[in-house]
Amino acid sequence: MVRAAPEFKAFEKLGESRGIMAAKRKIIIDTDPGQDDAVAILLALASPELDVLGITAVAGNVPLKLTEKNARKICELAGKPEVKVYAGAIRPLVRALVTAEEVHGQTGLNGPDLPEPKMKLQEQYAVDYIVETLMAEESGTVTLCPLGPLTNIALALIREPRIARRIKRIVLMGGGFFEGGNVTPAAEFNIYVDPHAAEIVLKSGVPIVMMPLDVTHKALTKATRVDAFRKLGTKVGVATAEMLEFFERFDEAKYGSDGGPLHDPCVIAWLIRPELFSGRECNVAVETASELTMGMTVVDWWSVTGRPKNATVMREIDHDGFFALLVERLGRL
């Protein structure tokens, strides 16, 4: 089993022992909010270890016009209107866009009544922003955090292949293996929506940490956990409780569980507290041909193929620790 990012821990320990703050880690969040994306963004913006260079929106849970607006709404909810939000791909590389209003509601952020954002959308195209930032920042210092279909990331890799060697790591929510799929029996939503983009990312040679359904289905928004957000008594806490109550209803009906899986915040939590997760380095390949299993992530967990290991696939989560981290951090906003 791999417990990831030991270099982060070592660096932080050195900083602590010398009484200095470790340098903030630079991230770009690529997202399709989505209530769980929203909680991931809030967690990142609340966390002093992270420097959110920018947020890039992609079409996914709902169309791009809504995902970019929702990203801005969340920055304003967090009290951070200075964060730069960019709009990217309007549709997947090859296939038609599939959205998930049945899960997230017509706006993508149903639940709380959030005001229309005042902060402006950046004019630059998100894909250009990703490329420009990676070429400008010191090589190996920027982590990409995709929380939706991988279209923007694949387009950036195609536009400027040199970025592959400059990206520190890609930590993504997507895929599922032992759990099967959530949008078809075989496929998880983010990978299903743009399997061709996922294939490009998985073959890019960039170090990848993958948070599949095998992990996120263990991070359930149980009633007591939703209450803990509401009890914060803040705008962020109450809005988060309202978002989660809307979001979980679909999965509670589907899985018969107390609460729904809180997928996307697992990505940001791993950056802050990697010891909450465990997994293993594997080869991961994506199905792009068969309609029956389109978007399936084929994880070679037992190394039976000899194919090169291209991702650290997480499988276990300390879910109590994860929710404790979320409540503590969102309480800072």
Residue closer to ligand BDR, measured from CB, 260 or 279:
260
Cα radius of gyration (the chain): 18
Whether residue 34 is preceded by a cis peptide bond, meaning omega within 30 degrees of 0, is yes
- Which residues inside 21-50 make contact with ligand BDR, applying CB under 6 A? 34, 36-37
What is the rounded CA–CA span in Å between residue 61 and residue 183?
A: 12
Pick 131 or 198: Cβ nearer ligand BDR: 198
Please identify which residue in 5, 25, 34, 201 interacts with Ca ion, judged by CB under 5 A. 34
Q: Binding of ligand BDR at residue 103 (CB under 6 A)?
A: yes
Q: Which of 41, 77, 127, 147 binds ligand BDR (CB under 6 A)?
A: 147
Q: Which is nearer to ligand BDR, 131 or 187 (CB)?
A: 187
Contact segment (CB under 5 A) with Ca ion among 113-121, 145-153, 175-183, 294-302 equals 145-153
* Tokens at 101, concatenated: 């209003």
Q: Does 100 bind ligand BDR (CB under 6 A)?
A: yes
Size of the site for ligand BDR (CB under 6 A): 15
Question: CA-CA distance, 76 to 83, in Å (whole number)?
Answer: 9
Closest to Ca ion by CB, 117 vs 146, is: 146
Residue 286 to residue 84: CA distance in whole angstroms: 32
Catalogue the active-site residues: 263
What's the min distance (Å) between Cβ of 175 and Ca ion?
A: 13
DSSP string across 178-215: TT--SSSSS--HHHHH-HHHHHHHHTS---EEEE-HHH
Nearest distance, CB of residue 7 and ligand BDR, angstroms: 27
Please, what is the minimum distance in Å from the beta carbon of residue 100 to Ca ion?
A: 9
The CB-of-60 to ligand BDR minimum distance in angstroms stands at 7
Give the nearer residue to ligand BDR in terms of CB position, either 93 or 172.
172
Least Cα distance to 202 among 279, 291, 312, 277 occurs for 312
> Which position among 25, 263, 273, 315 is part of the footprint of ligand BDR (CB under 6 A)?
263
Residue with tokens 């992530």: 297
Tell me how far, at minimum, the Cβ of 208 lies from Ca ion, in Å.
17
Nearer to Ca ion, 145 or 186 (CB): 145
Identify what 240 binds: ligand BDR, Ca ion, none; CB under 5 to 8 Å per kind.
none
Q: What is the DSSP string of 7-75?
A: HHHHHHHHHHHTT-PPPPEEEEEEE---HHHHHHHHHHHT-TTEEEEEEEE-SSSS-HHHHHHHHHHHH
And the tokens for 203? 């073959």
The only residue of 4, 53, 157, 173 in contact with ligand BDR, by rule CB under 6 A:
173
- For residue 91, how many other CB atoms are within 10 A of its CB? 16
The answer to whether residue 188 forms part of the interface with Ca ion (CB under 5 A) is no
Alpha helices by DSSP H, 91-194? 101-104, 126-136, 151-159, 189-193
Site for Ca ion contains 261 (CB under 5 A): no
Give the pair of three-digit tokens for residue 58. 């992609």
Bridge-based pairing of strands 311-317 and 85-87 is: unpaired
Nearer to ligand BDR, 131 or 286 (CB): 286
The one among 152, 190, 297, 312 contacting ligand BDR by CB under 6 A: 190
Contact (CB, 8 A) for 104 and 266: no
**188 binds ligand BDR per the rule CB under 6 A:** yes
Q: CA separation (Å) from 194 to 104, 176, 227?
A: 19, 15, 35
**Binding window for ligand BDR (CB under 6 A); candidates: 89-97, 185-193, 251-259, 270-278:** 185-193
Task: Please report whether residue 37 would count as binding Ca ion according to CB under 5 A.
Answer: yes
Contact set with ligand BDR (CB under 6 A): 34, 36-37, 61, 100, 103, 147-148, 173, 182, 188-190, 263-264
